[in-house]
Amino acid sequence: MTNAVQRVAVYGGGVAAAMAALAVSRAFARLGTDVVWIDTGKEPAPHAALVAPPDLATFHRLLGIDEAALIAGSAATINMGQQFARWSGGDGAFLHAYGDAGSAFASLPFVQHWTRARQAGLGVALEDFCLAAAAAKQGRTGSLRESATQQAVKQGWYLDAAGYARLLRAACERADIRIVSGAGAVVHPNGGRLDRIDLSGGEQLDADLFIDADGALIAALDPDGAAARPGFCDRLIRGSAPAFDPLPLYGRVVAHSAGWLAMVPLADRTAIEFAYDSRLLSDADASGALAATIGRAVDAGSPVALEAAARPRPWVGNVVALGPAAGDAPPLDGGELLLLQLAIAQLVLLWPIDRATMPEANIYNEEIAGTWARVTDFTAQHFRLNARIGEPFWDAARAAPVSPELASKIDLFAARGMFAHFNHEAHVEDSWALVMAGHGVIPRSFDPQALLVEDRALMAEFQRQLRAVASDVHAMETHAEALRRMRG
């Protein structure tokens, strides 16, 4: 290809810029593509942690990051799901685990049989049939050579953000990616494209494609392209508490009267994020509310403002914005790393074949906008389905507008335990089912074919599955054993 992209400049700092530079270099350096990272010096916020979904493990293989390095460099622990507590009032909680919601039976998804049994008086929660949820609650993890359930159990990571950024930077250095300082850099747009970036030392750096993980480059080409989106909280306090012992396999997201608190278990500490609405809880009172909610000693920073915006067109001219430059990720369910990973993967898939025209931009923008919408829907369901009645924050969250796609998903599941499928889905059906059932949505009806199974046979199958889950959990290794094995 005579007009192929040969020079790529990545602009920004922290996790997003390093991950993009490393991924592009690993994918295209052998084709002669040169990558330079203009490091703006921006680092993750103090106390920040990242929730990595299971798919990141596959992405790490592309990046050349192994498990031992991850554990050693970023205080990583295994992530098998997120527990949501007090979202329905009281002290109730449910676990959104990364695994199957029961095993399919009689050619139907398990949730159809579970719905039928619930209507007949079954008191067992859907997550109790999920191997991943049962294992996580008992501190067990790992794949099985012989599984009685045949269920999938997926694992993500909890990562110290600063340590993870350093790990990625070291990988860039090993890949011989040139890293230059972006302090004082000046951006030069020209005719709907970016012409060059002047560095403070006098170097003029041009490229065929610029990847913006900061926001300055895309703003120079499309200054009015960021669209505000509804947000539930406008303040965030990050902090750290002592590490749990033993380390849990799931994070915890606790609702409070003016927002929520997230606890992320790391090897050396517990990362805390306390989000709140400043109209209902003042900054002066927030620290006390944080301490009261967590019930543990917390080393916390000052409140920071939360903004909510996204770019419907992250690829403009020869600039592709991703990570924070493309917009603010949904605040829960690991949305930040999930969207970053999917954006980089989509860019690699749609790598421009003509540096002058870049016809891939339109389809990239369509794919990323759709993916962002579906990931946002997954988080929005928590707020739409909350059952904290009589509290202004949660009443407003429940009444907030949602997308037509999310409304259809909730309505169809509530009617018969099925899900509407849309383009750009980022979460599997069983994840949706575990969250909706956890929030108390019990389908009113079910697939009529479920009635073909006799009651006695259905109860026997339920008992078999519960025994199989218990057997598989017993055969798994503990969290500590799994981390030791991965280090070795």
- Judged against a pLDDT cut of 80, whether residue 372 lies above it is answered with yes
97, 92, 51: which is closest to 331 by C-alpha? 51
Q: Residue 91: inside a domain, yes or no? A: no
Q: Residue 382: inside a domain, yes or no? A: yes
Distance, CA of 2 to CA of 16 (rounded, Å): 30
Looking at the 3D structure of the chain, how many domains does it have? Answer: 3
Instruction: Give the residue-averaged pLDDT of 4-16.
Output: 96
> Is residue 288 domain-shared with residue 420, that is, in the same domain?
no
Can you give the pLDDT at residue 488? 81
- Judged against a pLDDT cut of 90, whether residue 228 lies above it is answered with no
Q: Residue 484: inside a domain, yes or no? A: no
Q: Which own/partner pairs from 107-111 qualify as long-range (CB within 8 Å, at least 24 positions apart)?
A: 107/449, 108/447, 108/449, 108/450, 109/417, 109/429, 110/465, 111/417, 111/433, 111/437, 111/443
> Is residue 283 domain-shared with residue 203, that is, in the same domain?
no
> Is residue 72 domain-shared with residue 27, that is, in the same domain?
yes
pLDDT digits (tens, 9 = 90+) for 382-438: 999 999 999 999 999 999 999 999 999 999 999 999 999 999 999 999 999 999 999
Lowest mean pLDDT, pick from 21-30, 58-67, 277-286, 340-349: 58-67
What DSSP state is assigned to residue 359?
T
> Is residue 194 domain-shared with residue 47, that is, in the same domain?
yes
Q: Which of 372, 389, 411 represents a domain boundary (last residue)?
A: 372
Q: Residue 485: inside a domain, yes or no? A: no
- Judged against a pLDDT cut of 60, whether residue 238 lies above it is answered with yes
In the three-class reduction of DSSP (H, G, I as helix; E, B as strand; rest coil), residue 121 is classed as: coil
pLDDT digits (tens, 9 = 90+) for 76-87: 999 999 999 999
CB-based contacts of 431, cutoff 8 Å, min separation 6: 96, 98, 378
Distance, CA of 137 to CA of 54 (rounded, Å): 18
Convert 25-85 into a string of H (helix), E (strand) and C (coil): HHHHHHHCCEEEEEECCCCCCCCCEEEECCHHHHHHHHHCCCHHHHHHHHCCEEECEEEEE
CB 194, CB 315: distance < 8 Å: no
Can you give the pLDDT at residue 470? 96
Distance, CA of 179 to CA of 186 (rounded, Å): 17
Residue 95 burial (C-beta neighbours within 10 Å; 0-12, 13-18, 19+) = buried
> Is residue 265 domain-shared with residue 347, that is, in the same domain?
no
In the three-class reduction of DSSP (H, G, I as helix; E, B as strand; rest coil), residue 235 is classed as: strand
* Longest distance between any two alpha carbons in the chain, whole Å: 80
Distance, CA of 60 to CA of 78 (rounded, Å): 15
Can you give the pLDDT at residue 309? 86
> Is residue 391 domain-shared with residue 461, that is, in the same domain?
yes
> Is residue 242 domain-shared with residue 205, that is, in the same domain?
no
Q: Residue 414: inside a domain, yes or no? A: yes
> Is residue 214 domain-shared with residue 294, that is, in the same domain?
no
Using the structure block, give the residue that is written with the tokens 């499928």.
Answer: 421
CB 196, CB 220: distance < 8 Å: no
pLDDT digits (tens, 9 = 90+) for 111-152: 999 999 999 999 999 999 999 999 999 999 987 877 888 888
Name the pTM for this structure: 0.95
Can you give the pLDDT at residue 57? 82
Q: Residue 83: inside a domain, yes or no? A: no
> Is residue 470 domain-shared with residue 383, that is, in the same domain?
yes
> Is residue 472 domain-shared with residue 382, that is, in the same domain?
yes
> Is residue 126 domain-shared with residue 13, that is, in the same domain?
no
Can you give the pLDDT at residue 152? 83
Distance, CA of 443 to CA of 106 (rounded, Å): 19
CB atoms within 10 A of CB 119: 13
- Judged against a pLDDT cut of 80, whether residue 297 lies above it is answered with no
Q: Residue 487: inside a domain, yes or no? A: no
Q: Which of 355, 372, 389 represents a domain boundary (last residue)?
A: 372
What DSSP state is assigned to residue 190?
E
pLDDT digits (tens, 9 = 90+) for 442-486: 999 999 999 999 999 999 999 999 999 999 999 999 999 999 999
Can you give the pLDDT at residue 89? 83
Residue that wins the pLDDT comparison between 454 and 61: 454
Tell me the average pLDDT of the chain: 94
Residue that wins the pLDDT comparison between 308 and 23: 23
Can you give the pLDDT at residue 1? 57
Q: Which of 343, 372, 401 represents a domain boundary (last residue)?
A: 372
For strands 7-12 and 34-39, give the pairing. Answer: parallel
Give the pLDDT band of residue 201 (cuts 50, 70, 90): confident
> Is residue 182 domain-shared with residue 241, that is, in the same domain?
no
CB 37, CB 20: distance < 8 Å: no
- Judged against a pLDDT cut of 60, whether residue 109 lies above it is answered with yes
CATH code for the domain in which residue 215 is found: 3.50.50.60
Q: Residue 483: inside a domain, yes or no? A: no
- Judged against a pLDDT cut of 70, whether residue 285 lies above it is answered with yes
- Judged against a pLDDT cut of 90, whether residue 363 lies above it is answered with yes
What does the block give as tokens for 385? 């389905």
Range of the structural domain that residue 206 is part of: 7-78+159-229+308-372
